Amino acid sequence: MLPERLSSAVGRYRVWLALAAGGAASLAFAPAALFPLGILCPAALFLLWEGASPREALRAGFAYGAGLFLAGTYWLYIAVHTFGKAPAWLAVFLMLGLVAIMAAYYGLLGWLAARMLPASGTVRWLLAMPGAWVLMEWLRGWLFTGFPWLEAGYSQSDSPLAGLAPVGGVHAVTLACTVSAGAIVALARGGMRERVTAVVATVVVWAGSAALAEHPWTQASGEPFSVALVQGAVPQDLKWQDENREATLALYRRMTEGVLGTRLIVWPEAALPVLEHEAVPYLSALWVDARARNSDLVIGLLRYDFENEKYYNGLVALSDQARWYYKRRLVPFGEFFPVPRVVRHWMRLMSLPYVDMTPGLESQPPLVAAGQKLGATICYEDAYGSEQLGVLGEATLLVNATNNAWFGDSTAPHQQLQMARFRAREAGRYLVRATSNGITAIIAQDGTVERQARQFVPEVLAGSVRPYTGLTPYARTGNWPVLLLSCVALALGLAARRSRAAGVEAT
């Protein structure tokens, strides 16, 4: 009687339970970083999908995704309203729009699972559901520009499962998470055979991940050298005011002059409140001083191309010559505005930003500075693991410049640092992050944070890094092996469903 009552209660409150599970899942990510929740919460959703109709599964999946992104990306409101100065209603609309789009992926996954996968069993729990989850997260990471935030694998940055990152990237870690979640369901709902299989699968996944974490996939190449990451901590709402411009220029020059002689000095994204051509005398004088002290600079700047009448968000490396990298992954409604002309006119009247940045070329060579080749990314480009693969054959160090001032004292900077740690681990390279107001950090090739600046204070984070060469398995193959494995696992689930249906018809 108790199981029937429990089943009835679950059915009655399925959507609310899924919403709570999604909200709790956000705590698996930084800064809370309760990584077991990254497994337990998907397991709870899998259990809520057990015995659900396609419509019920869709609702539960949507509720889970809504809970995850409402709790995990609330900071979008801060960026759009508090610092972007957009009306509160517009900020809420954009935030809820993104939440709804992201939640729809989880809802669709639940609907497909109820319609096309076996109702229960090892194939569903340990193969098909994990494979489908990985494919869903991969899809939402690139479709319509993609938003790979809060992918399950990122929650495991400090668990043994992170050892899979150099082998198959974050999607391999996600697969391990969901296999573990499926094992929990098998222990709760399966018979003896399913339970034994679940225990064996869990031991293999976790022990294998821990063993892989100890393997040195890349090799140190050359001696350590000094770096300094300049965090100006100029508030976003003050940075572009005319009366504060000279103070910001003086601040970055003063902080940089204090560490001249450091081999590599890195500034944040769009560090200066001017376009590149407006700062030529300022930058030229700083470049001369830096070269005299054997320092190379990497500076985040906005640049206007007069010939083509285009704006770029770039990084310039000032070494023996100036070399540029232009941001490829632009932020919708932050750096480009997919809206009709009439809406742009309204944005102009409301004093909202309305000018599109232009994305850089997909294939750009590494920057050259401090005698190294640098794999560069700007802002949330470090959320895309595959974006850096093209330069890893040459790059000996990864550099990310970010403007986190848009997000205030929220979880966003912590989440982004967690993703950057995966990029270092996937590549087997040191990664240095210079941010506007935190979290500036030096990340080792194994994903550990060696040094970290305080948030919201002007600070220069000094330390040393070492160049690395060699390619991890992930750097050689990218996401395709994990995606192919996930497709095979899902195909086995689809085949099992058809086989069972055929058996029922035959009887």
Q: Taking Cα atoms as reference points, which of 230, 228, 229, 240 lies closest to residue 406?
A: 240
Concerning whether 269 is annotated as a catalytic residue, the answer is yes
Through-space distance between the first and last CA atoms of the chain, rounded to whole angstroms = 31
Only one residue has tokens 């409140």, namely: 273
Q: In what order do the strands lie in the sheet with 225-231?
A: 322-326, 310-318, 296-305, 264-266, 225-231, 459-465
Q: How would you classify the pairing of strands 367-369 and 372-378?
A: antiparallel
327 carries an active-site annotation: yes
Other beta carbons less than 10 A from residue 387's beta carbon:
16
Q: Exposed, middle or buried: residue 284 (CB in 10 Å: 0-12, 13-18, 19+)?
A: exposed
Hey, what are 337's tokens?
């505005």
132-136: long-range contacts at Cβ-Cβ below 8 A with a sequence spacing of 24 or more? 132/486, 132/490, 132/493, 133/42, 133/109, 133/174, 133/175, 133/178, 134/171, 134/174, 134/175, 134/178, 134/482, 134/483, 134/486, 135/483, 135/486, 135/487, 135/490, 136/105, 136/106, 136/108, 136/109
List 327, 335, 373, 459, catalytic entry: 327
Q: How far is CA 236 from CA 83, 114, 299, 300, 315, in A?
A: 7, 47, 18, 15, 19
Type of residue numbered 483: L
Count of residues making up the chain: 507
Q: Give residue 44's Cα distance to chain centre.
A: 24
Beta strands in 206-282 (DSSP E): 219-220, 225-231, 264-266
The arrangement of strands across the sheet holding 372-378 comes to: 367-369, 372-378, 397-402, 431-435, 441-443, 449-452
Burial of residue 381 (CB within 10 Å: 0-12, 13-18, 19+) is buried
3-state secondary structure of 225: strand
214 is catalytic: no
Q: Cβ contacts of residue 144 below 8 Å, gap of 6+?
A: none
Compute CA distances 372 → 77, 217, 389, 466, whole Å. 39, 20, 17, 10
* Amino acid letter for position 198: A
Note whether 65 and 19 are within 8 A (CB).
no
Q: Which amino acid is residue 470, in one-letter code?
A: G
The CA-CA-CA angle for residues 338, 77, 274, to 5°, reads 65
> Exposed/middle/buried for 297, CB within 10 Å: 0-12, 13-18, 19+?
buried
Catalytic residue among 379, 381, 426, 459: 379
Tell me which residues are annotated as active site: 269, 327, 379
